[in-house]
Chains A and B, each alone.
Chain A
Amino acid sequence: MPRWILVLLLGSALALSAAGCAAPAPAMPAAVDAATVAPAVVVDATATEAPVTTDAPAATEAPVAAAEPSGGVLVRAMTSEPAQIDPQGPPSSGLSVVLPYLFDTLVVRDLDNNVVPLLAESWDEAADGKTITIKLRPDVKFNDGTPLDAEAVKFTFDRFKESGVQSPIYAGIQQIAGIEAVDDLTVRFTFDAPAANFWSTVSMPYAGIISPSSVQEAGDVSEVRLVGTGPFRLGEWKPGQSITLDRNPDYAWGAAVTENQGAPYLDQMVLKVIPDAAAQLAALEAGEVDVIFVNNPAHRDQLATEPNIRLEETVLNSLIYLGFNNRKAPYDDLKVRQALSHAINKDQIVEAALGGLGIAAFAPLPPTLPGFDPALKADELGYDVEKAKALLTEAGFTAGGDGKWMRDGEPLRAVLLTSTRPPNDAIATVIQSQLQEIGVDVEIQQLDGKAVMEAAGGGQFDLLLWRYDWNDPDALNIFLGSDRIGSTNRVAYSNPQVDELLKQGAQELDEQKRAQIYRDAEKLIMADAPWQAIYNPIDLMAIRDNVQDLKMGYMGRMLVNDARVVGQ
């Protein structure tokens, strides 16, 4: 705890007791004392170096690593902090921010979706697709000084299979039937069936390789400080405030996604926890942080006029869609789903609700994934109000004098379920007015994210405004496969023909063939209209001009290996 907090606290307690009320005062200072002694600020447990702890803001400190070129200290705002730093633990936005800097994966992907070697130097896939043999890069050391070897990789994935149930990539990890350390630097993965999404799985930050000794030394779960081979080491962690990452001077095995593949130029990276987006914006403008991520068009417009701030953007592997409850009348009727799809004007949504921070989508897969094909545009159920009305008439609805649709005495009305997170409120309102245009009344129901997932899983909605983020076309199986109904297939879509294709796609190792399989599946899905694809979001990074060569990587990851902060 910073000393000034203690001083001010004691001071105010004294002032209060001096102020008169005889009885109350003594109780307070005692409580404060206990509070200030107990919480040992959680610092790294690697014990390889003395933790640098000062009360001054990191930015004003002298460089920590002596005799190294100083690239300065980069401060990035982070919306929430991770509960703990275990790649295999429960996911959170904070965790995915921190992981890539502390833990290296076997491979990563570049912006063109190519697999790029990181800890894996080379690999060999057996013809039947059931064995993958990986050669590890030699001379790689974990941040606790132990060497990276085949046993460490085996240990990592064994631990994952045993206790990683909370992880988003657990299903992918479970496909691995066996892991064997062939020799010091060779690992063999075996599978019961070919696993085409293996590289997607192991390139996710959650699949970072963990030092076995850091797990064994951890003991009590609550103080786990796992160690990886990343370009940074975990430094001081002030709960609720910031996480400081210190440069790993021995780093020499970076992936070929940045020019500098050695140790980062930055001395430190500080991840500052700032939950409120408007406060993040103000902190950037005041120079208290160097980088923020922006998803509010108003904030984007405000930053565009700032002379010392530049913006960089990337399209994410994500899709925002309007899902129909495929099991509930009248949305179990294909014509009704088609009609409502034709009523959606995506360009208007992107303009009015997003201020252009997205690209209108038509296919079930984002343009960044294999299997996407611009030709699928021809199959889109595009904006066409007349067609929408005609389809409703075909479905047996009749328009009353007020323009509202009735069938069997039941009016056509929909509950649109979505989360309170912006920009969902704005999008939902635009959709409401667009459906109003064809005579369908929409009631918007906004809950917090967890509550939406619970309600959607139980089928308690008509329309669902939701999104998915996935780095492999296997996404279609996760979000639209029949065996996922009741969990992630929230729209309860089922088409055996599609299921068959998705199963083939998951096992097809030839990239060309695999992409074709997913194209075929997408065509079928678009004809069934289980959801209407709305847009693929754009992630926007706002950077102060004193930061040089900071890049946006795959899935909106911030690549810092080339970056320097000047003029501090």
Chain B
Amino acid sequence: MTPGRLAHRLLGMVIALVAVSVFTFLALATIPGDAASAMVGDSASQEQLAALRDQMGLSASLPQRYLTFAAGVLHGDLGRSLVSGRPVSSMILERLPYTLLLSFSAITLALLIGGLAGMIAGTRAGSALDTIIMGGMALGIAVPTFWSALLLIMVFSLKLRWLPVVGATSPLHLVLPTVVLALPTAAVLARLLRSSLQDTLGADYIRTAHAKGLPSRRVLTRHALRNSLAPVVAILGLQIGHLIAGAFVVETIFAWPGLGRLTVQAIFDRDYPVVLGTTLVIAASFLMINLLVDLAHGRLDPLVGSKSI
């Protein structure tokens, strides 16, 4: 990617982030109830509610409130939680490492399972093994996250007693959330790699490679796999979005102290600085990862690298 194109891409990311913040802001303004009404008890009168709204800066007009928030962000200040009064940035920093760790491990596991399953199934298309693997992967996509989570808890925590149920106090606690989060992504990757491999393996240059007398393993790794990976990498960036959505559910079930749970609670509390802060961080990481994926994609597929970015 040339520096000019990269700058272009980065500008696009900034615009996307502005759009995300505006839409989140509007969405929060549209849902009924605000932080003040969410906060006051049953005995509060209308006057008390109004006083609290003033105190929280909720009585200002929408554009005014957005501009205040945006000005803060430009100065590196995400504001303070309306509920706890703590700086949003420190609330996010507390949770970010947990979310990063869970996403990293889930992506890694998804790539491992998806890659392995896709490769085995792709090279043995039509075999019984292929049918079994692809059946399992279809299940992985179809089963809702909360259900697979409870099922795994039942088997591995309650019956076998191998793994803890909830919390984040040891590496063992990471296992179940990672598996649950990785499964759907792994399934998508496996199916994609399988069909992509099948296409590649039928290509002329593969036959040539075989004809040259190259060992099958070498043909697969050096020639077929590399060319089959491009579509898989392309979809990986988009799968990150699904992963983030899945993390909201997985973090809640396993009581994992990540950003997803912070966001969900903040939505219930109508704590809009926190929701905006976490949304911006999540959106920025999503855009960043997609940029990286596109860069990697460009290396795998020179056509993409030179033209479409």
Q: Identify the B interface with A (CB < 8 A).
A: 31-33, 37-46, 48-49, 51-52, 55, 80-81, 83-87, 90-91, 93-98, 100-101, 104-105, 108, 150, 153-154, 157-158, 161, 164-171, 174, 252-255, 257-258, 261-262, 264-265, 268-270, 288, 292, 295-296, 299
Could you say which of A24, A35, A272, A447 contacts B255, with CB atoms under 8 Å apart? A272
Whether A401 sits at the interface, judged by CB under 8 Å, is no
Indicate if the CB atoms of A222 and B41 lie closer than 8 Å: no
How many chain A residues touch B (CB < 8 A): the figure is 75
Indicate if the CB atoms of B295 and A24 lie closer than 8 Å: yes
Contacts of A448 in B (CB 8 A): 268
Contacts of B253 in A (CB 8 A): 276, 278-279
B68 to chain A, nearest CB (A): 19
Contacts of B161 in A (CB 8 A): 286
Chain A CB within 10 Å, residue with most, of B38, B171, B262: B38
A552 to chain B, nearest CB (A): 23
Whether A352 sits at the interface, judged by CB under 8 Å, is no
Chain B residue with Cβ nearest A8: B101
Chain B residue with Cβ nearest A278: B150
Q: Identify the A interface with B (CB < 8 A).
A: 1-2, 4-6, 8-9, 12-13, 15-16, 21, 23-24, 27, 32, 35-36, 38-39, 41, 55-57, 80, 83-84, 90-91, 165-172, 221-224, 238-242, 272-276, 278-279, 282-283, 285-286, 288, 447-451, 453-455, 457, 468, 470, 478-479, 484, 486-488
- How many A-B contacts if CB must be within 8 Å? 197
Indicate if the CB atoms of B164 and A286 lie closer than 8 Å: yes
Can you report 11 A-B residue pairs in the complex whose CB atoms are below 8 A from each other? A12-B104, A21-B295, A80-B265, A83-B269, A84-B85, A166-B40, A172-B43, A275-B265, A279-B254, A279-B255, A282-B165
Contacts of A8 in B (CB 8 A): 101, 105, 171, 174
Indicate if the CB atoms of A486 and B252 lie closer than 8 Å: no
Contacts of B100 in A (CB 8 A): 9, 32, 35
Chain B contact residues, majority secondary structure: helix
Contacts of B41 in A (CB 8 A): 91, 166-170
Could you say which of B32, B158, B288 contacts A282, with CB atoms under 8 Å apart? B158
Indicate if the CB atoms of B43 and A283 lie closer than 8 Å: no
Indicate if the CB atoms of A468 and B255 lie closer than 8 Å: no
Contacts of A91 in B (CB 8 A): 39, 41
Chain B residue with Cβ nearest A475: B42
Contacts of A15 in B (CB 8 A): 108
B281 to chain A, nearest CB (A): 11
CA distance A241 to B44 in the complex (A): 31
Contacts of B258 in A (CB 8 A): 240
Indicate if the CB atoms of A55 and B48 lie closer than 8 Å: no
Chain B residue with Cβ nearest A7: B171
Could you say which of A273, A286, A479 contacts B165, with CB atoms under 8 Å apart? A286
Indicate if the CB atoms of B295 and A23 lie closer than 8 Å: yes
Indicate if the CB atoms of A275 and B90 lie closer than 8 Å: no
Could you say which of A12, A36, A242, A449 contacts B105, with CB atoms under 8 Å apart? A12
CA distance A499 to B197 in the complex (A): 78
CA distance A168 to B90 in the complex (A): 29
Contacts of A16 in B (CB 8 A): 104, 108
Contacts of B97 in A (CB 8 A): 1, 5-6, 9, 32, 35-36, 39
Contacts of A166 in B (CB 8 A): 39-41, 44, 52
Contacts of B39 in A (CB 8 A): 90-91, 166
Chain B CB within 10 Å, residue with most, of A55, A279, A488: A279
Contacts of A278 in B (CB 8 A): 150, 253
Contacts of A27 in B (CB 8 A): 288
Indicate if the CB atoms of A9 and B46 lie closer than 8 Å: no
Indicate if the CB atoms of B105 and A282 lie closer than 8 Å: no
Contacts of A282 in B (CB 8 A): 150, 153-154, 157-158, 165-166
B119 to chain A, nearest CB (A): 17
Given A8-B101, A32-B100, A221-B85, CB of A241 within 8 Å of CB of B108: no
Indicate if the CB atoms of B295 and A288 lie closer than 8 Å: no
Indicate if the CB atoms of A454 and B165 lie closer than 8 Å: no
Indicate if the CB atoms of A239 and B94 lie closer than 8 Å: yes
CA distance A21 to B80 in the complex (A): 37
A242 to chain B, nearest CB (A): 8
